[in-house]
Amino acid sequence: MQYEIKGGSFPVVICQLTRGEQMITEKGSMVFMSPEMDMETTGGGIGKMFSKAFSGEKLFQNIYTARADGMIAFGSSFPGKIIPLTIAPGSEMIVQKSAFLASESDVELSVHFNKKLGAGFFGGEGFIMQRLSGSGMAFIEIDGELIEYTLEDGQQIIVDTGNVAAFEPSVSIDIRQVPGIKNKLLGGEGLFHTVLTGPGKIWLQTMPISSVASAIRPYIPTSSN
């Protein structure tokens, strides 16, 4: 499979498939495709569907199979970036629930539970994230711009809630209270920050959609009876 990422604020990834190759998406994010693509919607069995419902994933996946050489494009749902990830045994990735866009069929999308309950309940992306494993190319979407860091063993970075997009499984995630009552109540940073500890790579997003929604909410007129 060959691919090319095009576009500015609303990018698309255009995948060139040979006969028999497959791509999977769970968002209905197909933008355009050639007539050689066949689509099949599947839930993956009752157990897997229950797991998806519990994790907030879509219950069904769309599988696109190339009858002959052709192309298919997947687009982001929010201004930002599309990031290609090479998934292989020993090179897995943990991503926020809404980040997965599409992947080759040998990439497996599963539930990832944060080991520390504090990070789950207060860390911004929740107790449940997603793990990409298996083998192949996967594409995730990032809200806003992308910042990448490589943390050394024991090195930490404190991140505002919701800005964690993805990280390698070797990175641990926890939460830390914002110090001081005045800071908590008046600082505008919320009650908790997320703490990522190395070693491993992390990917941060600059404009999480939750922050955008909070910023525009005061300007949305409310209906009155």
- Each residue's pLDDT tens digit, 123-159: 444 457 888 999 999 999 998 889 999 999 999 999 8
Domain tally for the chain? 1
CATH of the domain at 12: 3.60.160.10
The pLDDT value given to residue 101: 92
Question: Is 224 among the domain residues?
Answer: no
Does 221 map to a domain? no
**pLDDT tens-digit series, residues 193-203:** 788 999 999 99
Q: Per the domain annotation, does 200 fall within a domain?
A: yes
Residue 211 lies in a domain: yes
In a domain, 222, yes or no: no
- The whole domain housing 195 covers 2-216
Spatial contact of 173 and 122, defined as CB atoms under 8 Å apart: no
**114 found inside a domain:** yes
Residue 191: the pLDDT is 57
Flag residues of the chain having pLDDT under 70.
Answer: 43-59, 113-127, 161, 177-191, 209-216, 223-225
pLDDT recorded at residue 183: 46
Under 8 Å between Cβ of 71 and 42: no
d(CA 194, CA 164): 8
This prediction's pTM: 0.80
In a domain, 167, yes or no: yes
225 belongs to a structural domain = no
Maximal CA-CA distance, the chain = 63
